[in-house]
Structure 1
Amino acid sequence: MGQTMRIAIAADHNGLALKAHLISLLTGQGHAVDDRGAHDGDGEVVDYPPLCADVCARVTDGRADRGIVLGGSGMGEVIACNKIPGIRAGLCHDRFTTEISRGNNDANVIVMGAKVLDHETAARLLDLWLTTPFKGGRHQHRLAQITALERGEPLP
């Protein structure tokens, strides 16, 4: 898998089983995993925006190298995560979207849908996401443009 990382992870009620599966795999690979919730036994529907904010705050302030957010489809989660300045969250549901999110967009948060992916596919995509390097080059200029958008500045 490469270097070990500090990873913050969260899931709403739809992603609890997938979260447990991924935490087991990640800790087995030597990563430091910070489980931010929700937790088994909470027993109710969980709003995802606070979970997204929590994971993203840990990424932007340096307490985590990367973040993982799990929901039903992942669609609302990726929207919420991308409202946080400094976050580049990718909704990853196949090899192509996973490679693009890291290679072209230098995503620092992966979002996956537990109702979209089985556990083994999600694990494979997460491994790919964690090991895919950012390509830089022309993509770096685009990241600078995204940062300008976040700040309300003119695009370079």
Structure 2
Amino acid sequence: MGNEKIAFGADHAGYPLKQKLIPYVKTLGYQVADLGTDATDSTDYPIYGKKVGEAVAAHEFDLGIIICGTGIGISIAANKVPGVRAACVSELYSAEYSKRHNDANVLALGARVVDVELAKKIVKKWLNSSFDGGRHTRRVKEIIAEDRKDESAFKKLVLETHKIS
């Protein structure tokens, strides 16, 4: 921690929560960049899910935090970017296990679903969790093969473990 960089993005519904989370995450010792939006004027969540997703996938940032009304739309948009594993989270257990088992590199929150205090707890839990590796590594590799549209790599991973044709 300390040198880790986090990209934030939100649509109009997520803007107020983003504005509260950025200073909080800075107090935890992270470098933060705000990739927009910059107001509560209506805008489209796919713009910011894509923007943060591409920045994380390009390794310009270590992690991303994205926010819309429910967290669902912006997470779907981010997950369209190969290399992104965005998890839409509204409680602490999923925050922890999205990192431990899925190696999530983007956290999606719903500003109309979680209040500021719960959002802070979710973010802290997510940032303080790390990938368990082990059997979960193969599963993440399967996701990566799907991202790359590499059917032979996916099948090989599946066949090695499950003997499925």
Normalising by structure 1, report the TM-score.
0.94
**Corresponding residue for residue 33 of structure 1:** 32
Aligned position for 1:64? 61
> How far apart in 2 are the matches of 1:150 and 1:133?
22
Counterpart pick for 1:124 among 121, 128, 147: 121
Q: What do the CA deviations read for 1:30-83 (whole angstroms, capped 9, x no partner)?
A: 31110011113xx52110111111111111111111000000001111111111
Structure of greater Rg: 2
| Aligned pairs (5 A) from 1:5-84 | 5-40=4-39, 43-84=40-81
* 1:147 Cα deviation from its structure 2 partner: 1.0
Q: Where do 1:88-127 residues align within 5 Å?
A: 88-127=85-124
Aligned residue number for residue 137 of structure 1: 134
In structure 2, C-alpha distance between the alignment counterparts of 1:144 and 1:30, rounded to whole Å: 30
141, 145, 153: which is aligned to 2:150?
Answer: 153
How many residue pairs get aligned? The number is 152
Partners of 1:151 and 1:9 in 2: CA distance: 25
Deviation at 1:149, TM superposition (A): 1.1
Q: Deviations over 1:102-155 (max 9, x none)?
A: 000000000000000000000000000001010000000001111111122232
Q: Secondary structure at the match of 1:111?
A: strand
Q: Structure 2: give runs of 5+ residues left out of the alignment.
A: 158-165
Shift of 1:29: 2.5
TM-score by length of 2: 0.89
Structure 1 unaligned residues grouped into runs of 5+: none
Root mean square deviation of aligned Cα? 1.0
Distance 2:147 2:57 in 1: 14
Moved more, 105-114 or 76-85: 76-85
